[in-house]
């Protein structure tokens, strides 16, 4: 039977990991909800953010948090460019979701191979002055890298929520998500709104990539495992729901942490997806989707 300290450590580790998955999922969920595009390349763009933070730290000594000043605008521009590509694809495709799956799959293959050529397949670790250090709550360790990752995730999710609920552009994004035709009749520029959605989504992916880089070893193929988990988070939380992605990310982290304490680690994914199947049978629209 695990001790109280082991259970407490599992809870803390699960929440810190869940925070990173939560922020990584918000942009993916937002694009899916607003534009009906399933962006399979979302996590490879996040990985680009991880690598930018790694190389800036290694060659220029720029802390990962400060590297976001470069990562976010760069990936925002990538989002605008992706919107242009998707827009042209949508004009020729009968069904945008299916066409986007093919296109974004090809995009992530291209970017992954570019990373493989330029960065090699060697695992990389973002090593800062606080890596390996921890604060202690009784006997439970709170790794500083994990705390910073969690704080970045929380601030980003809060900023996205405020943007969507308290700005004109954010409200326009929500209007397009809820009723595209109604939004068009109200005079909302659909093209502009969806372009901003892509930019914001990939900008948040950059934050997610830095968060993951602080707690994970990265390599050009790691984004595939991230993609599986953000699918799970998005489906559980409800497509398009920022709060849903945040809460379901934390729940997933808790399940992963606690399952790893009571069962062999190989069982963690099995437990997660059994719970997902049960949830879909009970509430197929997700926990937080109306």
Q: For residue 287, is it within any domain?
A: no
Flag whether 205 is in a domain. Answer: yes
Share the mean pLDDT of the chain: 89
Asked if 204 contacts 220 with a C-beta cutoff of 8 angstroms, the reply is no
Whether residue 288 is contained in a domain is answered as: no
Interval 8-43: pLDDT, tens: 888 999 999 999 999 999 999 999 988 888 999 999
Above 60 in pLDDT, residue 290? no
pLDDT higher for 282 or 106? 106
In a domain, 130, yes or no: yes
- On whether residue 290 sits in a domain, the answer given is no
Is residue 272, in this structure, part of any structural domain at all? yes
Q: Tens digit of pLDDT for each residue in 59-92?
A: 999 999 999 999 999 999 999 999 988 877 766 7
CATH number of the domain at 8, please. 1.10.3470
289, part of any domain:
no
State how far the alpha carbon of 258 is from the alpha carbons of 24, 69, 136, 251, 254, in Å.
21, 35, 19, 11, 6
Q: Does some domain include residue 169?
A: yes
pLDDT tens-digit map of 36-65: 889 999 999 999 999 999 999 999 999 999
Give the pLDDT confidence score for residue 26 in this predicted structure: 95
Which two structure tokens, joined as six digits, stand for 214? 């602080």
Domain that holds residue 52: 4-282
Look at the chain and report how many structural domains it folds into: 1
């Amino acid at each position: 039977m695990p001790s109280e300290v082991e259970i407490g450590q599992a809870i803390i580790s699960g929440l810190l990991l869940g925070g990173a998955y939560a922020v990584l999922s918000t942009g993916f969920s937002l694009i899916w909800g607003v534009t009906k595009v399933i962006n399979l390349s979302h996590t490879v763009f996040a990985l680009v953010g991880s690598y930018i933070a790694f190389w800036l730290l290694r060659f220029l000594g720029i802390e990962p948090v400060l590297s976001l000043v470069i990562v976010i605008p760069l990936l925002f521009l990538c989002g605008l460019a992706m919107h242009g590509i998707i827009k042209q694809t949508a004009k020729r495709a009968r069904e945008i979701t299916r066409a986007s799956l093919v296109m974004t799959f090809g995009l992530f293959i291209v970017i992954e191979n570019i990373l493989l050529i330029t960065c090699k397949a060697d695992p990389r670790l973002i090593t800062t002055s606080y890596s390996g250090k921890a604060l202690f709550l009784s006997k439970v360790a709170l790794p500083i890298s994990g705390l910073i990752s969690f704080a970045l995730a929380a601030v980003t999710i809060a900023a996205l929520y405020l943007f969507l609920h308290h700005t004109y552009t954010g409200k326009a994004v929500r209007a397009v998500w809820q009723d595209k035709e109604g939004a068009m009749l109200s005079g909302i520029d659909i093209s502009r709104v969806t372009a901003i959605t892509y930019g914001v989504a990939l900008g948040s992916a950059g934050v997610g990539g830095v968060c993951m880089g602080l707690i994970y070893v990265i390599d050009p193929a790691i984004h595939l495992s991230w993609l599986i988990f953000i699918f799970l988070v998005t489906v559980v939380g409800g497509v398009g729901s920022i709060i849903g992605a945040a809460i379901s990310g934390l729940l997933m982290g808790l399940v992963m942490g606690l399952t790893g304490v009571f069962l062999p680690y190989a069982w963690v994914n099995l437990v997660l997806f059994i719970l997902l199947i049960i949830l879909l049978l009970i509430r197929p629209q997700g926990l937080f989707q109306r």
